[in-house]
Structure 1
Amino acid sequence: MGYPMAQNISKFFRLKVYNRTKNKTIGLENFNIKICESIDQVCKDCDFLITMLPSDNEVLDITPKLIQYMKKNSVVIDMSSTKVNTAKKIYTELKNKNINFLDAPVSGGPEGAKKATLAIMVGGDQNIFEKSTELLKTMGEPTWVGLNGSGQVAKLCNQIIVGINIGAVAEAIILCEKSGVDPKKLIKALKGGFADSLVLRNHGIRMIEKDFIPRGKNSTHLKDMVNILEQANKNDLDLPISKIIKLMFENLCKSGFSNDDHSSLYNEILKNSGAHSQN
C-alpha cells in the first residue's frame, strides 16, 4: 500500500522515501521522488515523516532513530496498525524530545491506496492533526477521532466490523450456493439495501470466484483480532463474536493460509458448515 500512497503524496508535496527492501521503491524515481539509502537520510530536514510498518516491533524499533534524526517540532505520522499502548508509548517518547506524533491507521486496502480514498483514523493533538490535514488528504479522508491512541482504537473497531462482515458474507454466499441460487445475482439483488456493503461487493466476489490472492492477509487480520481482544480485556469487556472470528483466522493461519486474502475466511466457514469446497 505504501507505493501508491507515495505516488499520490508526490503529486502535491516534495517527497523522499526509504524502505529496508530497496527493490520495493523501484520506479518511484519516475514520480520525482527521491530514494534514500538510510533512515537518517530520509529524516534529514524533514517536516513530516510517515511510517507504515508490519507490526508493533518494527514501529518500536525505529522510534529511537526517529528521536535521533528528526528535527524539533516536526511531525511523525504512523499509519501502521498497532496496539493502542504502542501508539501511546511512542507519542510520549517523541513528545519528550519535542517531536509531534499522530497515530493514523488506514482502511480501504490497496484499491483505496491507489484511488486516494483511504479512511484515515487519526489520534493525537488536534492542532497537529490540523497542521497535517493537507498532507493526509492526498491519501484519503482523514478524521480526527481524539487524543493519542484514538486512531488505533478506531482501527480496532474497524477490524471488528470488517472481520464479522466477512464472516456474515461468507455464510450468505455458502447458503446461496448450496441452495442452487447464483450468488452474483444475490449481490446485485442486495444493492442499496441494509445488507449491501463494500465487503459484500468486493470480498463476496472473491469468495464466489475463489480468488484469495492477498489484498488483506489472514495473518494481518489475525494480528488485529488479537489486539482487539487484548484491548477489550483491558476494559473488562467480553466480545464473543470477535473471539469466534479470531479463532477462525487462527485456524487458517495454522493450516498454512497466513498469506491468503482474508476473504478466505469463506473456506474456514465452509469447512465448519459440513459442506465441501467447490475449488
Structure 2
Amino acid sequence: MTNSALGMIGLGAMGAPMAHHLLAKHGTLTITGRRPQPELVNSGATWVNTARELAANVDAVLLMLPDLPQLEEVLSGEQGLLAGVRDTGLLLMIGSTSSATGVRELAERLATETNGLVRVVDCPVSGGEDGANAGTLSVMVGGEKDDADLAATLLAPCGNPVHLGPLGAGQVAKACNQMVVSATILALGEATVLADRSGIDLEKMWDLLSGGYAGSRLLDSRKDKLVSGDDSPSGMAKYMVKDLASAAEIAEATGTNTALLPTLRAAFDEIVASGLGDQDIAVSRRFVAER
C-alpha cells in the first residue's frame, strides 16, 4: 500500500489485467480510456472522462500504450494529462516499449514545459498476457532513484519491478529482451517446420526438448500454438518490427556491430510484408513453411 494516488491509461490485453492487480493491492485506481471498463469500475476503480481529469486526481499514472505517438496524444490538448497536472507534480510511468532516446527526449521536454512538475520513469514489461494475468511480469524500470523506487512500489502487484539504471535503462533492457524473444521464436518456427516435414510427432518432440537446453518460457507459452499451427494473436508479430528498430538504435549508439540483429529485423520485416504481422509471433511456423 502507498499513499500516492495512482491512475492508469491503456487498458488493453496487457493493461486491463494489470489494472485489476493494482486495484486489488492499492485499494484505489483512477482510470480513463477510449472504451468504458465496467468490470474495473464494478471492482472499485474510479472512471473519469478525460486524461486531464485523471491527472488532477492522481500523483502517478501508468501508461500502457503502444508507443510514444499514442502517449503524446494523451498528454496534449485541452483535455490532456498536462492540462490537469497539480502543483504537487505527476510521475509518468511509461510502460510502452519505445525508443530509449525518445523517452529521454520526452522527459527533458516535459521537465522544461512544466517547470519540473512532470517526472518520467520508463517501465516496459515482459511476460505477455499470461504474465499480466498472473501478476508475474518482469518490469524493467529506468529513472532517478526516488522516482524509480516509487514506481517499483506502485507496480509491484504486477510482478517483479527492478530498477536497472537511469532513464531509458528499461527500454534498453526491453530491447535486449525482444532480441532474444525474436531469435527464439524464429528458431522454434523453423525447427517445427523441419520436424513436421520429417514426420516427427511435434507435441512429443517439444515436450522432450523442453526439458533440455532448448527449453524456455517462450516455448512453454507457445508450444501449443506451434504444434497446432494456431497463430491467433496474443503478442502480434508486427510490434517486433518497432522493438527491433529500437534495438538497432541502441546498437548504433553504443558502437555495437551486431551479427544477428540485422537478420532478425529482415525476417520480421518480411513477416509483416507477407501479411502476417497481425498474427501471434508463433506465426513464425507458417512464415517459414510458406517461404
TM-score of the aligned structures, taking structure 1 as reference length: 0.91
Match of 1:109 among 128, 146, 150: 128
Runs (4 or more) in structure 1 with deviation over 6 Å come to none
- List aligned pairs for 1:137-176, cutoff 5 A: 137-176=156-195
Matched, 1:74 2:90: yes
Unaligned regions of 5+ residues in structure 2, if any? 1-13
Whether the 8 Å contact between 1:51 and 1:79 is mirrored in structure 2 is yes
Whether the 8 Å contact between 2:237 and 2:281 is mirrored in structure 1 is yes
Matched, 1:269 2:288: yes
Aligned mates of 2:157, 2:111 — CA distance in 1: 26
Q: Secondary structure at the match of 2:238?
A: helix
What residue in structure 1 maps to residue 29 of structure 2?
15
What's the CA shift for 1:222? 1.4
Identity %: 26
Matched, 1:228 2:244: no
What's the CA shift for 1:88? 0.3
Change beyond 3 A, Cα 1:269–1:206? same
Whether the 8 Å contact between 1:145 and 1:151 is mirrored in structure 2 is yes
What's the CA shift for 1:132? 2.5
Aligned mates of 2:191, 2:124 — CA distance in 1: 30
Q: Secondary structure at the match of 1:130?
A: helix
Whether the 8 Å contact between 2:229 and 2:286 is mirrored in structure 1 is no
What's the CA shift for 1:199? 1.4
Indicate the RMSD between aligned Cα atoms, in angstroms: 1.7
What's the CA shift for 1:36? 1.4
What's the CA shift for 1:136? 0.9
What residue in structure 1 maps to residue 42 of structure 2?
30
TM-score of the aligned structures, taking structure 2 as reference length: 0.87
Matched, 1:216 2:228: no
Q: Secondary structure at the match of 1:22?
A: coil
What's the CA shift for 1:263? 1.2
- List aligned pairs for 1:40-51, cutoff 5 A: 40-51=52-63
User: In structure 2, what residue type is equivalent to 1:184?
Assistant: E
Whether the 8 Å contact between 1:102 and 1:124 is mirrored in structure 2 is yes
Q: Map Cα deviations across residues 180-226 of structure 1 (whole Å, 9 max, x no partner).
A: 21121122212332211011122232111111111111111111112
Aligned mates of 1:166, 1:202 — CA distance in 2: 11
What's the CA shift for 1:141? 0.6
Q: What number of residue pairs does the alignment pair up?
A: 270
Q: Map Cα deviations across residues 103-159 of structure 1 (whole Å, 9 max, x no partner).
A: 000011111111111110010011212123221111111011100000000000000
Aligned mates of 1:222, 1:156 — CA distance in 2: 11
Whether the 8 Å contact between 2:91 and 2:121 is mirrored in structure 1 is yes
Aligned mates of 1:31, 1:194 — CA distance in 2: 43
What residue in structure 2 maps to residue 6 of structure 1?
19
Q: Map Cα deviations across residues 29-85 of structure 1 (whole Å, 9 max, x no partner).
A: 111011211111111131111111112211233344433322334321110111111
Aligned mates of 1:169, 1:245 — CA distance in 2: 14
Whether the 8 Å contact between 2:140 and 2:164 is mirrored in structure 1 is yes
Aligned mates of 1:169, 1:255 — CA distance in 2: 19
Aligned mates of 1:91, 1:248 — CA distance in 2: 33
Aligned mates of 2:153, 2:102 — CA distance in 1: 26
Matched, 1:54 2:66: yes
Aligned mates of 1:111, 1:236 — CA distance in 2: 35
Aligned mates of 1:259, 1:31 — CA distance in 2: 32
